[in-house]
Amino acid sequence: MRARLTPAILPLLAALLLSACVTTPVPRAPASVAEGARLPAISPQAFLAVAQEVEPVAEAVCRTETPDQNCDFAILVDRDPRVGANAFQTLDRQGRPVIILTLGLIAIFENEDELAFVLGHEAGHHIARHIPEQRRSAAEGARIFGEMAMAGGADAREIERAAELGAFVGARSYSRSAELEADAIGTVIAYRAGYDPLRGARLFSRLPEPEMRFLSTHPPNAERQGVVRRTLQSLGAGG
């Protein structure tokens, strides 16, 4: 169904004139227009138009792939100017999937294709059930690390700390593969909504390269762009 803009959402869109998945640091207090800051490329009207085109496609993909889930996406904006550039997907108390973008991220979009791709990517996390999968991965990590500590003769406090570490490692290690899967689903959604996912994925080229360490939650930017190209090719769209 179409993205419904309740009275609570309209003020959020108005604030655009001035956020796991996509993240980069931005100044805590953005410069004012009078100080020479450029206006965002995505106006509130453009944001609304893209959201209304992407949401029903995301919902259709969700209902096809996972009909047992709530597929009625809500799209919101975090208008706190102190928050960095970020986007994430969560669930409300009724289990409705919610996609949240921060002003910091919207400010660095250069075109509507980037916005459409990010919205599709975040919807992809829900469609692929990444929240419950990440919880299961964390629980399994906690169990394994806790049992290893117990087998080694650790006391109760040491076992608890090991379990906490295992949960952390389990959740983080799952995140990188989840990001790539969400990129692929987001490519399908953006493409079917009439946008260019490859152009949208150029956003990655402007983001800092994730640190290549054991607990990094995001794959290399080039790897993510490669997923977009291969997904487009599978759709017969070239790329």
pLDDT at position 53, please? 97
pLDDT at 134: 62
Question: What is the pLDDT confidence band of residue 27, given thresholds at 50, 70 and 90?
Answer: very low
| Average pLDDT along the chain | 76
Min mean pLDDT across 168-177, 186-195, 208-217 is at 208-217
pLDDT value of position 5: 37
Question: Greater confidence, 15 or 155?
Answer: 155
What DSSP line would sit under the chain, residue for residue? -PPP--TTTHHHHHGGG------B---SSPPPGGGTPPPPSS-HHHHHHHHHHHHHHHHHHHHHH-TTS----EEEEE--TTS-B-EEEEE-TT--EEEEEEHHHHTT--SHHHHHHHHHHHHHHHHTTHHHHHHHHHHHHHHHHHHHHHHTT--HHHHHHHHHHHHHHHHHHHHHHHHHHHHHHHHHHHHHTT--HHHHGGGGGGSPPPP-STT--S--HHHHHHHHHHHHHHTT---
Sheet holding 97-102, edge to edge: 74-78, 97-102, 87-91
Output 39 or 31, whichever has higher pLDDT: 39
Q: Band the pLDDT of 25: cuts 50, 70, 90.
A: very low
- Per-residue pLDDT, averaged over 22-45, amounts to 50
The model's pLDDT over 208-236, given as tens digits with 9 standing for 90+, comes to: 655 444 444 566 778 888 999 999 999 98
| pTM confidence score | 0.71
